[in-house]
Amino acid sequence: DIDMELLNQEFLVLLNELRVSAGRGVVYYAAEYQDEADTRALEEVEQTVASFEAGNGWDIDHERTDGSAWYEVFENRDFGAGENLLGNSINYLDALTDIDEKALAYSMFKQWESSTGHRDNMMGIGFTTNTISVQLINVDGYVYYVGSELLTSNGAYSDGK
């Protein structure tokens, strides 16, 4: 099993290094949004598996499986939020049982960092919290991961930057 708290801690080290180097404030792990991040990753798994089974490859979409917008995952949202999604393959044999959260966090971070739009989202000035989730899937003997990142401007964590 993936230790989501450890995965988030490892990811935040990388993200906050990048943010601080650019003069941005740090963001904090928001455990209270872990269920929402997990839900979004699971929804993307559902879409991706269906797409693979139909022979169409990846289907990473900010629309939820019920057709609503991604931000509807939050109940009573009264704060700004952003979402990054990703999918990729995993290159080690025991991926479904032997997870290295640090390596996985690094891979996810680098994938989002290398995309201008995703990087801009991670660097958003108003964001104060960050919560990620990842789900592993096995499709025809190949192991993939699908990840979600939810960034929020929850004022309780604001450092004024």
Q: What is residue 91's predicted lDDT score, i.e. its pLDDT? A: 63
Count the Cβ atoms, other than its own, within 10 Å of residue 27: 23
pLDDT in tens, 8-29: 999 999 999 999 999 999 999 9
Quick: pLDDT tens for 29-40: 999 999 999 999
Of 77 and 56, more confident: 56
Question: For residue 37, what is the enclosing H or E element?
Answer: helix 34-53
DSSP letters along 80-149, please? -EEEEEEEEE--STTTTT---HHHHHHHHHHHHHTSHHHHHHHT-TT--EEEEEEEEEEETTEEEEEEEE
Q: Which residues of 71-102 are buried (b: 16+ CB within 10 A; e: fewer)?
A: bebeeeeeeebbbbbbbeebeeeebeeebebe
Contact residues for 72 (Cβ-Cβ < 8 A; gap 6+):
64
| 31 DSSP 8-state letter | G
The pTM of this model reads 0.89
Quote the mean pLDDT of the chain: 88
